[in-house]
Chains A and B, each alone.
Chain A
């Protein structure tokens, strides 16, 4: 009986495993898991950043649930006040997700209509979570060293993602140097997105794959502009459905200091999960 059972078990497992869609593994194979190193430009001008301040990025995205056809309805380019219970609901959904939020503390939340974009972090790792009516996506960044950003500047990580319906969206988050009280991003189509700023962080996101070309930073001494040399996102670079690509940049601005050093991490385009 056992021999027959073992044979049946082998056959049944093969049949069950054959139910995995042919494109599932292929989709996972397309993701970029490569370890990578990011090198910030050497110090210029004031050189205010401590040697070794660098961040490598790792993104893990967990998209939960099938999206509606218009997954980003209700988004606005400026943050909106949260609806009653919106922040708590988002926090619950995000923290129910697995890695990479575990062990990190909530630092800042941005709300735009029904969407809540939160950042969690400790001294060397951060993770973002975007919660919408039809999806939750989590991504993580890892730093080799604590990040130190010059006063009046920002260090930005940007990502481009595709939800399960094929809708694309972009995320920008990062650290703000001392004295930065406001961040407004200008995208490569000329549109602007106002970020939420607080606790040494800024966060913003927008539908589509437009990249950030510059950021207007509000400081106590007025506004300054920090520019970024982000190339356009090539077709398909945002990954397959449920996928993500990410990049990090310090950008440049008149007289600003940047850091030097390397950090190793991983870029990881996406993952998906049904719910």
Chain B
């Protein structure tokens, strides 16, 4: 039993930060992300005797997290929309390239406006650098669905970003 507890403690120590940052990018709100992570860890704790025997317990936790995030997406959508329309995110103070930050800011603004499933796929694929097969497992969908969802998401981002980039490329 003590070993189980120690294993779970290690799991919490190792997984909380990546889960929190992943949740933050998916739901776009730190408070929501914290709740999701805690609910996920609680769920993992309930099933720890089984989860600990899995090859990758973090993959299980990630699947629970994404499922919860997307399950609550409709409930949060109105609130997130209000956030999206509100003040821009705080800018990191240590960035030395303001132009690069502006591009990031615009890209994140576009990401925030994507449908939740598209955003989740892109976060798993490009923030966590998961292979498409692992994204599919986390999303509980097929590999083909991951590919098409990511493709649509990237296309929308590209569409949103293109006018800005073109404008930026015009010499002043």
Contacts and interface: CB of A to CB of B under 8 A. Distances in A.
Contacts of B105: 12
A13 B154 contact: no
B38 A99 contact: no
Contacts of A62: 35
A274 B29 contact: yes
Given A15-B92, A273-B31, A8 B104 contact: yes
Interface stretch (A24-32, A40-48, A227-235): A24-32
A271 B38 contact: yes
A35 B44 CA distance: 10
Given A20-B30, A271-B35, A273-B32, A5 B157 contact: yes
Interface in B88-135: 89-90, 92, 95, 100-101, 103-105, 107-108, 111, 122-123, 126-127, 129
A17 B108 contact: no
Contact of B34 (A11, A18, A273): A273
Interface in B1-21: 5, 8, 12-13, 16-17, 20-21
A191 interface: no
Interface string B126-167: 110100000000000000000000000010011001000000
Interface residues of B, number: 50
Contacts of A11: 100, 104
A64 to B, nearest CB: 8
B103 A8 contact: yes
A272 B12 contact: no
Contacts of B12: 29, 33
B45 interface: yes
A60 B107 contact: no
A8 B21 CA distance: 18
Contacts of A18: 92
Given A28-B16, A60-B38, A16 B104 contact: yes
Interface of B: 5, 8, 12-13, 16-17, 20-22, 24-25, 29-35, 37-39, 41-42, 44-46, 48, 72, 75, 89-90, 92, 95, 100-101, 103-105, 107-108, 111, 122-123, 126-127, 129, 154, 157-158, 161
Interface of A: 1-2, 5-6, 8-21, 24-25, 28-29, 31, 33-35, 58, 60, 62, 98-99, 266, 268, 270-275
Task: In the A-B complex, list the 3 residue pairs whose CB atoms are closest, starting with the nearest.
Answer: A274-B31, A12-B104, A25-B17
